[in-house]
């Protein structure tokens, strides 16, 4: 059983919103895997991000993106993600809720270490 599914079921049953992961208010460029910058993070967590997007994105869309973390590593964090919610209309920037999909291994470890560093510096958003 996926832990996120359990949290969602409990959230719906008790009508109480939940957050599985702490969110941190950070601004980093987000680019498609082909290098085209599509937006900027508004917040970031171990499970996903809120992104201000200058390109069309739609609910249910799967994206492979590179996030330029401020962790001193030259290589961007590459992650598959799914668009959960979109607010707004182009040409104004869209606000998209993004969930990371299958973030594992070195990429997951790198993100977790970076967020742990942020937690120590300033606490969650």
- Which residues share a beta bridge with 30? 39, 67
Give me the pLDDT at residue 20, please.
Answer: 57
Query: Is the pLDDT higher at 5 or at 100?
Result: 100
Give me the pLDDT at residue 123, please.
Answer: 53
> pTM for the full model?
0.74
Average pLDDT value for residue range 47-71: 92
52: left (phi over 0), alpha (psi -120 to 50) or beta: beta
């Amino acid at each position: 059983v996926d832990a996120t599914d359990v949290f969602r079921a409990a959230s719906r049953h008790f009508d109480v919103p939940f957050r599985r992961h702490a969110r941190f208010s950070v601004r980093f460029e987000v680019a498609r895997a082909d290098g085209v910058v599509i937006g900027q993070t508004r917040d970031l967590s171990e499970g996903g991000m809120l992104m201000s997007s200058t390109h069309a994105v739609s609910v249910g869309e799967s994206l492979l993106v590179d996030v330029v973390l401020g962790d001193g590593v030259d290589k961007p964090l590459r992650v598959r993600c799914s668009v959960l919610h979109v607010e707004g209309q182009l040409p104004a920037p869209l606000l998209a809720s993004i969930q990371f999909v299958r973030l594992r291994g070195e990429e997951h470890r790198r993100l977790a270490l970076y967020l742990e560093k942020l937690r120590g510096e300033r606490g969650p958003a």
